[in-house]
């Protein structure tokens, strides 16, 4: 026994030295893993499916008997949306498939590019090549907004191992030029899946100076917590919060809501034939954009769509854009779908016939924003309408009521022939 203890004593120094070395090595590895740079790095064929849940709670200012007011929470409106990001090329070139901005039939597709720091830009119209598909023209703006308030641009990542930094971002839910804001970001947690928090200052703006009345808007307390996933190399979850207030044109007081958005990555997969999915996605983009090559792209879609079973959301959108099923993206297609049945439309405003040119300008502006707008003759008046929908679309009505608050839009039944 004494001999054994003697041998241990002879090597105790080496054992302590080895233990210290291993501890230091593990500490160094943990340090570098904890502070490793975060960057968006996608591979062609990667498909990410997100669920986005939005809660909008009305805030009521209730007078108190002893004077002053107290803010109480009123009704909460909940909406959920599923968004698909599909990588279709190098340098994080993606398409985003989500619900139409006007709440109409079917999905819409956006062609985007995400840089390593999480900044989203519009990839612009794809340029024609021998096969009809090619790299994009990178733009300065992006339609990366989901719902009314969440934007993928709200998820900036650090250049290196910064703990706190400020970066300008383009928040697509705000009108220009107020949409360019400075985001203050800090790292809340380190590790393999670091957590960040982003805040922006309050923003105030006038909704439309060309209208007879000016409606002031305010976005305040905007902040977002989001987690970077080192396995997927992008942000996998985010929680956004803000307060939005709009001036009531009648009481001249502010109608205020509290907004809470929860975004979660539900599914991630790599398509086995990424080239098929990429070509189908880019062809769909070109058809939605229109132009002289749209019909050529429809033929390409009809050739590829049956091979895209691994991307059913994109497959359904492509079929509709190619005219392979009910749901054409054009106004004519929408009218044909609703033939021989009653539908719902929103009457935005009614003006005398003498003001028809002005009404047509409003219709053109709505169409540029993605709405299916049209004029309807009604006696000595011309009405501006949006739709139709098979069922009342609450989301579209809510947006139109905000945009045309002084006109008080309302539902009408229409016979579409």
- Asked whether 240 and 154 are in contact (CB, 8 A), the reply is yes
Q: Please say if the pLDDT value at position 48 is more than 90.
A: yes
- Asked whether 303 and 322 are in contact (CB, 8 A), the reply is no
> In 10 A of CB 360, how many CB atoms?
14
Same structural domain, 252 and 370: no
Task: Read off the pLDDT of each residue in 11-22 and give the average, rounded to a whole number.
Answer: 61
360: left (phi over 0), alpha (psi -120 to 50) or beta: alpha
CA torsion sign for 141, 146, 148, 150 is: negative
Q: Pick from 220, 240, 270: which residue ends a domain?
A: 270
Same structural domain, 123 and 263: yes
CATH at 392: 3.30.70.1070
- Asked whether 188 and 164 are in contact (CB, 8 A), the reply is no
Maximum CA extent, the chain: 114
Same structural domain, 266 and 336: no
C-alpha closest to that of 222 among 248, 178, 260, 265: 260
Same structural domain, 54 and 195: yes
Same structural domain, 88 and 200: yes
Question: Could you give the 3-state DSSP secondary structure of residue 330?
Answer: coil
Q: Please say if the pLDDT value at position 207 is more than 80.
A: no
Q: Pick from 224, 251, 270: which residue ends a domain?
A: 270
Binning pLDDT at 50, 70 and 90, where does residue 23 land? low
Q: Is residue 30 part of a domain?
A: no
Same structural domain, 146 and 53: yes
Residues near 133 by beta carbon (within 8 Å), at least 6 away in sequence: 126, 279, 282, 283, 286
Q: Is residue 97 part of a domain?
A: yes
Beta strand pairing call for 373-378 and 381-389: antiparallel
Task: Read off the pLDDT of each residue in 158-180 and give the average, rounded to a whole number.
Answer: 91
Question: Could you give the 3-state DSSP secondary structure of residue 27?
Answer: helix
Q: Is residue 327 part of a domain?
A: no
Q: What is the distance between the alpha carbons of residues 222 and 174, in angstroms, rounded to a whole number?
A: 12
CA torsion sign for 339, 340, 344, 350 is: positive
Q: Please say if the pLDDT value at position 186 is more than 70.
A: yes
Task: Read off the pLDDT of each residue in 30-53 and give the average, rounded to a whole number.
Answer: 81
Helices (H) and strands (E) in the chain, counts: 7, 18
Q: Please say if the pLDDT value at position 319 is more than 60.
A: yes
User: By residue range, what is the domain housing residue 232?
Assistant: 46-270
Q: Is residue 337 part of a domain?
A: yes
Q: Is residue 365 part of a domain?
A: yes
Same structural domain, 233 and 338: no
Q: Which span out of 127-141, 215-229, 372-386 was modeled with the highest average pLDDT? A: 215-229
Task: Read off the pLDDT of each residue in 322-329 and give the average, rounded to a whole number.
Answer: 59
Same structural domain, 103 and 229: yes
Question: Could you give the 3-state DSSP secondary structure of residue 379?
Answer: coil
pLDDT digits (tens, 9 = 90+) for 86-122: 999 899 999 999 876 655 556 788 899 999 999 998 8
**Alpha helix locations (H) across 290-368?**
294-304, 312-321, 331-337, 356-368
> In 10 A of CB 134, how many CB atoms?
13
Same structural domain, 50 and 171: yes
Q: Please say if the pLDDT value at position 138 is more than 50.
A: no
Question: Which range among 36-40, 138-142, 270-274 shows the weakest confidence by mean pLDDT?
Answer: 138-142
CATH at 148: 2.30.230.10
Residues near 75 by beta carbon (within 8 Å), at least 6 away in sequence: 57, 58
Residue 224: strand pairing partners: 198, 240
pLDDT digits (tens, 9 = 90+) for 228-244: 999 899 999 999 999 99
Q: Please say if the pLDDT value at position 135 is more than 90.
A: no
pLDDT of residue 124: 62
Whole-model pTM: value is 0.67
**Is residue 130 packed enough to be buried (19+ CB in 10 Å), middle (13-18) or exposed (0-12)?**
exposed
Same structural domain, 185 and 262: yes
Q: Angle of helix 312-321 relative to helix 274-289, nearest 10 degrees?
A: 40
Please count the CA atoms within 13 angstroms of the CA of 165 that sit on its side-chain side.
14
Average pLDDT in the chain: 79
CA torsion sign for 230, 235, 236, 239 is: positive
Q: Is residue 18 part of a domain?
A: no
| Residue whose pair of structure tokens reads 């947690």 in the numeric block | 189
Binning pLDDT at 50, 70 and 90, where does residue 215 land? confident
Compute φ and ψ for 126, nearest 5 degrees. -65, 140
Q: What is the distance between the alpha carbons of residues 366 and 349, in angstroms, rounded to a whole number?
A: 13
- Give the rounded percent of residues in the chain with a pLDDT score beyond 70: 74
Strands across the sheet containing 341-352? 373-378, 381-389, 341-352, 410-416
Q: Is residue 192 part of a domain?
A: yes
Same structural domain, 120 and 246: yes
Domains: count for the chain: 2
Task: Read off the pLDDT of each residue in 183-212 and give the average, rounded to a whole number.
Answer: 86
- Asked whether 321 and 301 are in contact (CB, 8 A), the reply is yes
Q: Pick from 248, 270, 292: which residue ends a domain?
A: 270
Same structural domain, 63 and 200: yes
Q: Is residue 33 part of a domain?
A: no
């Amino acid at each position: 026994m004494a001999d054994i203890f003697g041998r241990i004593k002879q090597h105790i120094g080496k054992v302590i030295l080895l233990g210290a070395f291993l501890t230091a090595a593990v500490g160094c590895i943990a340090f570098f893993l904890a502070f490793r740079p975060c960057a968006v790095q996608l591979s062609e064929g990667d498909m990410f499916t997100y669920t986005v849940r939005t809660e909008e709670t009305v805030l009521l200012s209730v007078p108190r008997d002893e004077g002053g007011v107290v803010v109480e929470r009123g009704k909460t409106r909940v909406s959920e949306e599923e968004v698909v990001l599909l990588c279709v090329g190098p340098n994080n070139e993606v398409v985003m498939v989500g619900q139409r901005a006007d709440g109409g039939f079917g999905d819409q597709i956006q062609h985007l590019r995400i840089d390593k720091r999480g900044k989203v830009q519009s990839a612009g119209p794809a340029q024609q090549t021998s096969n009809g598909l090619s790299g994009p023209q990178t733009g300065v703006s992006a339609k990366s907004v989901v719902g009314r308030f969440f934007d993928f641009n709200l998820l900036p990542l650090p250049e290196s191992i910064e703990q706190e930094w400020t970066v300008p971002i383009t928040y697509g839910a705000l009108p220009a030029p107020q949409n360019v804001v400075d985001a203050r970001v800090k790292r809340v947690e380190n590790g393999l899946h670091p957590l960040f928090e982003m805040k922006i200052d309050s923003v105030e703006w006038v909704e439309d100076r060309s209208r007879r009345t000016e409606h002031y808007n305010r976005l305040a307390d905007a902040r977002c917590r989001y987690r970077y996933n080192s396995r997927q190399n992008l942000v996998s979850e985010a929680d956004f919060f803000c307060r939005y207030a709009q001036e009531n044109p009648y009481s001249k007081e502010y109608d205020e809501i509290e907004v809470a958005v929860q975004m979660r990555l539900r599914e991630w997969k790599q398509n086995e034939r990424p080239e098929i999915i990429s070509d189908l996605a880019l062809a769909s983009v070109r058809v939605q954009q229109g132009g002289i090559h749209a019909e050529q792209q429809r033929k390409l879609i009809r050739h590829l769509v049956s091979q895209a079973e691994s991307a059913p959301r994109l497959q359904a959108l492509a079929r509709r854009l190619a005219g392979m099923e009910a749901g054409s993206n054009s106004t004519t297609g929408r009218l044909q779908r609703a033939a021989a049945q009653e539908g719902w439309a929103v009457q935005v405003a009614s003006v005398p016939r003498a003001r028809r040119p002005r009404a047509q300008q409003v219709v053109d502006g709505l169409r540029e924003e993605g709405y299916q707008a049209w004029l309807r003759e009604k006696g000595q008046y011309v009405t501006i309408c949006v739709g139709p929908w098979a069922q009342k679309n609450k989301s579209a009505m809510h947006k139109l009521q905000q945009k045309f608050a002084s006109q008080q839009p309302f539902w009408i039944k229409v016979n579409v022939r």
